[in-house]
Structures are given as structure tokens and as C-alpha cells.
Structure 1
Amino acid sequence: MIEGIFQRLTAILQKGIELSWLRQNLISANIANAETPGYKPREIDFEGEMKRFLSEGELRPLRTHPLHLPLPGEAAPQVFPKRGWAVTPDENGVDLEEEMAELAENYLRYTSLVQFLRRQLGMLRYSIREGGTF
């Protein structure tokens, strides 16, 4: 029983870390293209993707780059044009201040998830090492 709970929690944390990493790449691409004429900023719906993952009830792999080979049973997150972006005269919709704020927020989310996963793995390591001694 505890095994299943631990596996599920680890899978949820891993999915969150993978989605945060993908979001970090998208935000970085948006920032890098802040002065590219015609560039449309992109994003993923982190919360929506996590809800979808939790509702599926199965552990599935995630392809983090479109050029990676497809994995069996994978559910690729949807990347879409950012909502509510304003077009500038050069038809670029990147708001650099907004992107930097999202970058900081995503960094905090990512580091929090990684720290929580490290704690979970630390507890497992402790249980393995000390579990046999009373």
C-alpha cells in the first residue's frame, strides 16, 4: 500500500518537474524572441496539464521535445499561442516584463517540486538504511 502511494506521489512530482522544465523552455524562447518581428509567444497550461494527468489515473511518459521519438502511451502537453498578448508595431507579442515575472514564478515552482522530491527520496533512503534496525 505504502509502495503505491509513494510511486504515485513520485510520479506526480516528476510530471510537475517535467512540465515546469518545458514551461521554462517556452518562456526562455519567448524572451529570446522578444525582438523577432512576427513572433507569437507560446505557453502551456501547467494547471490544466496537471489536472489531466491526475484524472487519467495512469502513469504515462512525457515527451519534452517535439523531435524526440514518440513514446508508447505518451500524452504530449499542448503548446499554444499565449492568450491576451498585445501585438506591437512589428507584430511581436512578447511582453518582456511579463515573461520575466513568469520565468521567476516558474523557477520557484520548479525548485519547490525538486526539493519536495528530494525529501521524498531522502525518506525512502532513510527507510531502506534504517528499516531493519529496531
Structure 2
Amino acid sequence: MAGDSLFGVHGAALAVRSQRMGVLASNIANASTPGFKARDVDFQAALQSMEGGADGGIAAATKYRVPTQTSMDGNTVELSAEQTAFAENAVQYQTTLSFLNGRIGQITRALKGE
């Protein structure tokens, strides 16, 4: 993967977390859509696929959720679980982004000779 020497796994992790945020947001947005099936990204599987250079790694790691209780209209979104997963993923995304920003700052200072 390009850029491994500078950012390691963190660049790929940021991409996976970003994609997962979109999937979780879609689940939340469709909480009242009849028949909607909630999905989630298996972070570890997606990251391993990306590191291995596999095409469609994130798509292959996106699976349907198994709900604890399906609603009468067939919707499998459990809003509180989705909101919790979204919040946790947002914190992890921000942490990864902060690390990358710090790394970029280090590289910039090194290039300037500071």
C-alpha cells in the first residue's frame, strides 16, 4: 500500500472508519423505512483486505446486522445500537485523524529543518 512508510496502517484505518461512518449513518437515516436491513462494516476484515491490496475490501467486509428484535415491518435497525456504534466510530475516526495530523506535522518540521 502506498505511503506505508509514512503513515503505516493509519491511512487505511481512516478510510475504513470513514466508510463505516457512512454505513452507520445510512442505518440511522433509514430507522423507520419498512423492510430496511441494517448493515455494518467489519473493521478488522476491511482493514486486512485493504492492507492485502484486495479490491473491494470494504464492500466485502460490509455485512447485514443480526438484530436482537426485528420490527413488525421487517426493519432491522436498532436505533440506540446504531447511535452508539456511530458515536464510537466517530471518536475512533477523530483519534486516527489526530494521529495522522501529528505525523504530518512531524514530517513538515523535518522538511523545514526544525
For normalisation by structure 2, the TM-score amounts to 0.85
* Structure 2 residue aligned with 1:15: 12
User: 1:112 corresponds to which letter in structure 2?
Assistant: T
- Please state if 1:82 is matched with 2:65: yes
- Please state if 1:40 is matched with 2:37: yes
Give distance in 1, aligned partners of 2:95 and 2:48.
19
How big is the alpha-carbon RMSD for the aligned residues of Structure 1 and Structure 2?
Answer: 1.9
Give distance in 1, aligned partners of 2:73 and 2:35.
6
For normalisation by structure 1, the TM-score amounts to 0.73
Secondary structure class of the residue paired with 1:19: helix
CA contact (8 A) 2:47 2:57 kept: no
* Structure 1 residue aligned with 2:76: 93
Q: How far is the alpha carbon of 1:13 from its aligned partner? A: 1.1
List alignment gaps of at least 5 residues for structure 1: 1-5, 61-72
Q: Spell out the pairing of 1:42-61 with structure 2 (5 A cutoff).
A: 42-54=39-51, 56=52, 60=53
User: 2:57 corresponds to which letter in structure 1?
Assistant: A
**Which has more helix, going by share of residues?**
2
Decide which structure has the larger Cα Rg and report it.
1
Q: How far is the alpha carbon of 1:130 from its aligned partner? A: 1.2
Identity %: 24
Secondary structure class of the residue paired with 1:116: helix
Give CA-to-partner distance per residue, 1:55-88, whole Å, 9 cap, x none: x2xxx4xxxxxxxxxxxx6343122211345211
User: Structure 1 residue runs of 4+, over 4 Å off?
Assistant: none
Give distance in 2, aligned partners of 1:108 and 1:24.
11
Give distance in 2, aligned partners of 1:45 and 1:85.
18
* Structure 2 residue aligned with 1:103: 86
User: 2:33 corresponds to which letter in structure 1?
Assistant: T
Q: How far is the alpha carbon of 1:11 from its aligned partner? A: 4.7
Residues paired across the two proteins, number: 110
Give distance in 2, aligned partners of 1:9 and 1:43.
29
User: 2:55 corresponds to which letter in structure 1?
Assistant: E
User: 2:111 corresponds to which letter in structure 1?
Assistant: I
